[in-house]
Structure 1
Amino acid sequence: MAKSMFDNICEERLFANLFDKYSKSLHDFLYYKFGSHLNPEDKVQEAFIKLWDNCGKVSADKAKSFLFTVASNSVLNDIKHNKVVLNYQKLKPKDYTNETPEFIMEEEEYMQKYQNALAKLTEGQREAFLLNRIEGKRHKEIAELLGISVKGVEKRLYGALKSLRKEIEGI
């Protein structure tokens, strides 16, 4: 049995004919079944893109079924996703902590002292300290970034630590 040229939907002419034949009915099906809020136009386009991607696997007589199944599943997946989003929005954020009010107040005071102490450091000390402690860079990496020797970095870091200890009691 010879294969006709209409069995190959990868051919542009046949694919265009399938689009012309089924796109309106597919859109109407999605619109009537699910409404317009889930963008039936987009789902029709996505279904035809999937058909084009799988044109070698889908025969012309199965194309309609393929399109309607893919489009319907796509809309159902969006509905499931929207349900997850709504359930997540219903969750109330945690409005309590296990920390005592005293701890929270001390933490805020400490952060204020820390910020003030950082502001009092020289620019070189602050830069080296933040690169080391916040970004986790090693002395050699900091030296390369700043264009100074490793000893220069060490001197800046030790000076910064000494100044911070002096400014913030209890470290």
Structure 2
Amino acid sequence: MKEIHDKFDFGDNRRVVDALRNGDEHCFDALFRQSYRPLCAYASRFVPLARAEELVQDTLMWLWENRRTLIPEMPLKSLLFTIVKNKSLNSVSRNSIKSRVIRQLAADFEEEFDDPDLYFESELVRRFSAALRRMPEEFQQAFRMHRLEGKTHREIAEELHVSPQTVNYRIGQTVRFLREELSDYWPLILLLFWPEGR
């Protein structure tokens, strides 16, 4: 059971559901940690982030409290996203203009944005990496060193033998390019990859 605990694997749905049904708290903890941010990102399409976090916590606690009723044949990932979507839409006043707009947008983009896999990092990483590869190599390098390795502009400048201003320019241009290329996903990318909003 160790591999389920270390990295929650939705691929083995029956095994995970069986573990949950048997009260495996380590499995639930892994599920909670891996699902929380993707579910929040999804819910924040409909409601403010603070409300999204409440709804996701409620959903995951509901799952634990009702774990004995889970059916191994029902995909857990789809179940969680469906519950979160319904809770989110139900939490918005049905008669408000905002609610009507949100419901219309949800219907218009349902096929693309209701795919749970989009909210788990693999699909977004693929799109993000493909966009990044379209930048010049030296821009990619500066961006990776800063955003992914956490190095300062000065540290990068010293390592690459360029000025801090050059590093700043390369990183700024890369961020602008990625924001344009991935504009539909940018809020989601920020939430999943840079939750501190850098």
**Considering only CA atoms, is the larger Rg found in Structure 1 or Structure 2?**
1
TM-score of the two chains, using structure 2 as the length reference: 0.37
TM-score of the two chains, using structure 1 as the length reference: 0.43
